[in-house]
Amino acid sequence: MRVGILTGGGDAAGLNAAIRAVARKAFAVGGEVVGVRNGWAGLVGTADLRPIIPRDVSGILAQGGTILGSSRVNPLADPAALERVRANLAEGGLDALVAIGGDDTLKVANALAAAGAPVVGVPKTMDNDLQVTEYCIGFDSAVAVVTEAVDRLHTTAASHHRVMVVEVMGRDTGWVALMGGLAGGADMIVIPEFPVELAAIAGHLEERRAQGKDFSILVIAEGAEVGGLAAFDLSGAPRDAFGHVQLSRRGIGERVAQEIEAQTGFETRTTVLGHTQRGGSPTPYDRIWATRVGAVAYDLVVQGRFGEIPVKRGDDVVPAAIADVVAGPRRVPAALYELARIFY
Ligand code: F6P
């Protein structure tokens, strides 16, 4: 059996662990493995495939990024491109493709599977907002980065009696902000699911001051809405092939920081964690679960269960329909948000 592996969308720590797991499972039964270069970009034109041999996946478990490269190329934008992908899979002699990605990549995988192509998914997104699965590759490592940053910012905030605004990734959902903020003991967390007013942020910081707390850490997701800020004009901002604007261009962290300083008099600084949340070596949790879902993805291929994806449920990895996993973002529930507020 000849199996292709592709990584699409934003990279995330743990991708290489998943690639290695799929490949090792294949090698164990004499299978052949082919890497698709740079996500769907490697299949929309002249196919960019390269054989993967055992040596290629040696020593990559702890390595960040993806040895295959990634991109945000979107074959769904053009029916001819989707057809080209199908043709490339057939011409490349691939019996199956394992597509490792988040919402965007998996929507393409789902469309291909619906059209009869032999595609299996693997859940990856540091945003952790896919439906059905309790685990997405890269989330734990991203939370670890945020937690360490919040820990470090605590000591400097306390020394200077400042407010530190920490902007983290999170387009539609606030999982990284919420979990990183919880783990780091943030004094306020602002996420897309629960918009807040600027006045409420300033009021909270004033309350803390009245309690003798002369420094604070505020974690904010890049896609959060803050009432009272002048509207963002993103009309000219670059968009990727899936239509997403680069949210870091909003600069919401710095804009909130300036308002905090103006409204409360607290000296305020902003740290934008950006792509540090996606880079670097995966945590043990990401290595283990990426390995587990990657291994089951190969089993699904062997069983011919195309259009399916291995997901974490409790301590098990179980198959689910890709269509269900990409059915809208999974949002932070109110109970978790309320839990974080207890510690403000
Ligand atoms: O899709 C995951 C994500 O990490 C989002 O949270 C973020 O908005 C986006 O990627 C940024 O991606 P890039 O800078 O690679 O386009």
Per-residue pLDDT tens over the stretch 68-113: 999 999 999 999 999 999 999 999 999 999 999 999 999 999 999 9
pLDDT of residue 227: 96
Tally of CB atoms within 10 A around 114: 13
**Collapsing DSSP states into helix, strand and coil, what is residue 12?**
coil
Give 95 Cα–ligand 1 centroid separation in angstroms. Answer: 31
DSSP state of 254: H
| Cβ 25 under 6 angstroms from ligand 1 | no
Percent of the chain with pLDDT over 70: 100
| Cβ 126 under 6 angstroms from ligand 1 | yes
pLDDT of residue 156: 98
Q: Please, is 302 exposed, middle or buried when counting C-beta atoms within 10 Å of its C-beta (0-12, 13-18, 19+)? A: middle
pLDDT of residue 233: 85
Tokens coding 327: 């059915």
Q: Are 118 and 112 in contact (CB under 8 A)?
A: no
pLDDT of residue 238: 85
What does the pLDDT average to over 226-245?
A: 89
- Check if 2-138+282-325 and 140-279 are the same fold: yes
CATH topology assigned to domain 140-279: Rossmann fold (3.40.50)
**Collapsing DSSP states into helix, strand and coil, what is residue 282?**
coil
Q: How confident is the model at residue 47 (pLDDT cuts 50, 70, 90)?
A: very high
Domain regions of the chain by residue span: 2-138+282-325, 140-279
| Cβ 169 under 6 angstroms from ligand 1 | yes
**Collapsing DSSP states into helix, strand and coil, what is residue 238?**
coil
| Cβ 103 under 6 angstroms from ligand 1 | no
CATH topology assigned to domain 2-138+282-325: Rossmann fold (3.40.50)
Tokens coding 265: 């008099």
- Nearest-atom number in ligand 1 for the CA of 277 is 4
Q: How confident is the model at residue 293 (pLDDT cuts 50, 70, 90)?
A: very high
Tell me: pLDDT of 248 over 90: no
Residues facing residue 196 across a β-bridge? 226
Q: How confident is the model at residue 249 (pLDDT cuts 50, 70, 90)?
A: confident
Tell me: pLDDT of 115 over 90: yes
- Nearest-atom number in ligand 1 for the CA of 176 is 6
pTM: 0.97
Ligand 1 pocket test: pick from 143, 146, 169, 275 the residue with the most ligand atoms within 8 Å of its Cβ. Answer: 169
Q: How confident is the model at residue 234 (pLDDT cuts 50, 70, 90)?
A: confident
Of 112-126, 141-155, 227-241, where does mean pLDDT reach its minimum?
227-241
- Nearest-atom number in ligand 1 for the CA of 248 is 8
Tokens coding 202: 């300033």
For the annotated catalytic residues, the residue numbers are 127
Contacts of 309 by beta carbon, 8 Å cutoff, 6+ apart: 106, 120, 121, 122, 123, 133, 297, 300, 319, 320, 321, 322, 325
- Nearest-atom number in ligand 1 for the CA of 170 is 6
Q: Supply the mean pLDDT for the chain.
A: 97
Which residue has a Cα nearest atom 14 of ligand 1?
246
